Chain A
Amino acid sequence: MSDATLSSAPALDLEAGRAGRRHLISRIVIYGLLTFFGIIYLMPLWVVFFNSFRPLAEISANGLIAFPQTFRLDAWPQAWSEFCIGGQCAGMQRYFWNSIMMVVPATIISTAMGAITGYVLSKWKFRGSEIIFGMMLLGVFMPGQIALLPWAFILGKIGLANSVYGLVLVHCIQGLAFTTLFCRNYFVGIPDDLVKAARIDGAGFWRIFYRIILPISPPILIVTVIWQFTGIWNEYLFGVVLNSGANQPITAALVALSMSGTTVRTYDVMSAAVLIGALPPLLVYFFGGKYFVRGLTQGAIK
């Protein structure tokens, strides 16, 4: 027995050495690739970030992708309140607030409705509830563009065309499929015995929701809020088609901004405007990102 170990010790070392080197090489390859792709993903952000602090003259002289040589803050206030877009010279400010007024109510309402719908479909199953859920799933997989014309028609009919309220309505309905899916799949992991015990204790539908289900829900509610916020804020198609002019959200305004400017392209102001438009979702990810991942991977309590 000891003979066997002694004689195989050198052989083991060789094998271990080889394995160690293979391990190291694969590590280098993996990290190399990751760094490479990381740089590719971050490059646009860096370029825009630097360009928003460089004077236009320098950008024209050195090109878009160059290290900044002078530092100027002028572009930002210009982008916020002075720049002329499509005839109006009030900057991005107005469109920023349009987006906020659209995103916040739509997120809150669609999340709340999704939570209640998910609660019903998972804890109060009735005949046909699985079919209804299946139909709602269609809303998740259906491309949004299909609903564009119908929405234009409906909003016109109810008088909400070309208004922020119209967009709020659109996003609430469009988002309901996702929020229901998230919440229902999460609530299914909550033991049914809890609901049975609460029913015997005398709690009804709403009481069970407020006192038992909602307190366990923060993980999935955060996921849903982050998903909806970033999705609705970044949404372009409905914003640019259904609204026009001063009622457009910031995504549509950014495109309008890039088409304005008579002869010269004001890259510095455009960069600042793009960053203003990207800031809220970026902030949401910075502060809520870890909760997002945690909520997605976490089941409900046991």
Chain B
Amino acid sequence: MASLTVRNLRKNFGAVEVLKGVDIEAQTGEFIALVGPSGCGKSTLLAMIAGLETVTSGEIWIGDRMVNSVAPKDRDIAMVFQSYALYPTMSVRENMAFGMESRGIPKDEQKAAIARVASLLQIEPLLARKPGQLSGGQRQRVAMGRALVRDPKLFLFDEPLSNLDAKLRVDMRTEIKKLHQRVGKTTVYVTHDQVEAMTLASRIAVMHQGQVQQFDEPDTIYNRPANIFVAGFMGSPSMNFIQAEITSASGTPMVTFPLSDGGSASLALHDGVGERVKDRKVVLGIRPEHLSRQSASTLGKPGMATMTAPVEVVEPTGAETMAVMKFGELEVVGRFSPDEAPKTGENMPLAVDMSRACLFDPATQKRI
């Protein structure tokens, strides 16, 4: 039995359709990430699951109950907000006890629950402080503690790390993952950061303009994206999209696109993709890390194709080096290890891993 099932959910705000038929589900103990750009509807979806927004049409099931018209407090959920929403005039302990007080739980049970959660999140020394006296990371943990204390069926996180600085965000991300491994509750996590989604989730729902573009495991989303939007959104730097044509050379299907020097590159298609292609025009998608310098080792691997391209800008980050190259008129980003890093102005011999490349239909934007 799934912890959460959302069926064909629609939401209108007046004449504006914000959610256009969303279907997702979460098995017990799963960590689902809802990821997408601003305005895609992920926060609205979360608010509807929480009961803070009404449903225009569709069904929301938590456990074995349809909860469309159930009040938030009766849905057996807990939520962590982007702004933490800690009650400013109450101490941390009172913040955590507020929900239990409202439900009339006896005092000793309250104390036991608070003690358990405080030791789990290591916020025991903070219990007497007010939210104004806590740092951002501490407030975050208190907000999670307030949610944990409820022991609900479903955890909802609404971009909880957005208000933290970069380093703290990475640390808290790991803490959330460890917490989930320990506590094992079903979690729905909304974020606009695809790195958070990839690292935390067991399944990701990529949303765009009110629709779920793809709902799959991170690995599938990354390597076999359903359409151009998913491919471009996940991964940083994002995937390179090259307008190309299908040609064939001695029976082998190839994808061809123009180069800067006026010639063109033809890369052999891999894995039977050639059979599925309908039109001649395609969009070739290559991730930056699938470009490498030609060498004995790279050329030996199956699915590798070669070409050369001039290098315009080189950006070393220490651990790796990004390079902006020109394929014809198009700027393409590559990710190289510092040992094989290109030099600015060099006409770099490239090895392209075609077994990982994706072809997209320009008309439907879907992956072929």
Contact = CB atoms under 8 A, between A and B. Distances in A.
Interface of A: 191, 193-194, 196-204, 207, 211-212, 215-216, 301
Given A196-B52, A200-B72, A200-B73, A212 B87 contact: yes
Interface stretch (B97-105, B283-291, B357-365): B97-105
Given A191-B85, A194-B85, A199 B98 contact: no
B77 interface: yes
Contacts of A207: 102
A199 B88 CA distance: 16
B214 interface: no
B83 interface: yes
Contacts of A194: 85, 87-88
Contacts of B150: 201
A92 B286 CA distance: 92
B88 A301 contact: yes
Given A207-B102, A211-B98, A199 B85 contact: no
A203 B85 contact: no
Contacts of B77: 200
B95 to A, nearest CB: 9
B135 to A, nearest CB: 15
A200 B98 contact: no
Interface of B: 50-52, 71-73, 77-79, 81-83, 85, 87-90, 98-99, 102-103, 132, 146, 150
Given A201-B102, A202-B102, A211 B87 contact: yes
28 contacts: A191-B83, A191-B85, A193-B83, A194-B85, A194-B87, A196-B52, A196-B79, A197-B81, A197-B85, A197-B87, A199-B52, A199-B73, A200-B52, A200-B77, A201-B73, A201-B98, A201-B99, A201-B102, A202-B73, A202-B102, A202-B103, A203-B73, A203-B98, A211-B90, A212-B89, A215-B89, A301-B88, A301-B132
A204 B82 CA distance: 22
A226 B83 CA distance: 33
Nearest to A194: B85
A200 B50 contact: yes
A212 B88 CA distance: 8
Contacts of A216: 88-89
B72 A199 contact: yes
B31 to A, nearest CB: 20
Contacts of B51: 200
A192 to B, nearest CB: 9
A111 B78 CA distance: 35
Contacts of B81: 193, 196-197
Most-contacted residue by chain A among B82, B89, B146 (CB, 10 A)? B89
A198 B98 contact: yes
A93 B132 CA distance: 49
Contacts of B146: 197, 201
Contacts of B78: 200
Given A203-B102, A211-B98, 7 more contacts: A194-B87, A194-B88, A196-B52, A196-B81, A204-B102, A212-B87, A301-B132
A207 B150 CA distance: 18
Nearest to B52: A196
5 tightest Cβ-Cβ pairs between the two chains A and B: A201-B99, A202-B102, A215-B89, A202-B73, A193-B85
A215 B52 CA distance: 24
Contacts of A193: 81-83, 85
Contacts of A196: 50, 52, 79, 81, 85
Contacts of A200: 50-52, 72-73, 77-79, 99
Nearest to B149: A201
Most-contacted residue by chain A among B50, B78, B81 (CB, 10 A)? B81
A196 B81 CA distance: 9
A191 to B, nearest CB: 6
A301 to B, nearest CB: 5
